[in-house]
């Protein structure tokens, strides 16, 4: 099992009561703007739908950008395959989509383990610790 970031352990209540890493980096907030690399219309729409909510509840930072881009691109790929009845490839894309969703706390089971606290104005993750 991979170690959890200290901010996530704090949000979950640190059930194991292990000492937190005082030297853990605290990345800045994720910008709302959709990255130019997402050129697919469905991928951009998913970014615009999802990211403002994740930022508002303090679940993502700038270091999560690549996973979010991958999630949105995979969403668009799955949607295209699903609409074209390419079942086998759609199933593979969905598997990758769920993996990214778990990393971001977007599935019901992964989300149930997080107790997110909205960041204060002008704040960052350092304020959570």
Question: Where residue 26 falls among pLDDT bands split at 50, 70, 90?
Answer: confident
Which pLDDT score, from 0 to 100, does residue 56 have?
86
More confident residue, 105 or 4: 105
Express each pLDDT in 45-103 by its tens digit: 999 999 999 888 878 889 999 999 999 999 999 999 999 999 999 999 999 999 999 98
Instruction: Please give the pLDDT value at position 2.
Output: 62
Taking each helix axis as running N to C, give the angle between helix 65-83 and helix 87-103, from 0 to 180 degrees, rounded to the nearest 10. Answer: 160
Q: What is the pLDDT of residue 16?
A: 73
- Cα Rg of the chain (Å, integer): 16
Write down the pTM of the prediction. Answer: 0.72
Contact assessment for residue 11 and residue 128, using Cβ atoms and an 8 Å cutoff: yes
CA dist 43 and 35 (Å) reads 10
Q: What angle do CA 62, 68, 73 make, to 5 degrees?
A: 145
126 vs 106, which has greater pLDDT? 106
| 124 close to 28: Cβ distance less than 8 angstroms | yes
């Amino acid at each position: 099992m991979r170690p959890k970031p200290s901010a996530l352990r704090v949000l979950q209540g640190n059930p194991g009561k292990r000492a937190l890493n005082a030297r853990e980096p605290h990345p800045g907030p994720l910008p709302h703007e959709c990255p130019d690399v997402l050129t697919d219309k469905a991928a951009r729409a998913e970014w615009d739908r999802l990211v403002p909510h994740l930022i508002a509840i303090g679940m993502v930072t700038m270091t999560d950008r690549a996973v979010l881009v991958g999630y949105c691109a995979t969403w668009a790929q799955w949607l295209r395959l699903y609409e074209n009845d390419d079942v086998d490839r759609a199933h593979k894309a969905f598997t990758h989509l769920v993996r990214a969703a778990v990393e971001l706390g977007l599935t019901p089971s992964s989300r149930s383990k997080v107790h997110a606290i909205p960041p204060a104005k002008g704040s960052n993750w350092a304020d959570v610790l």
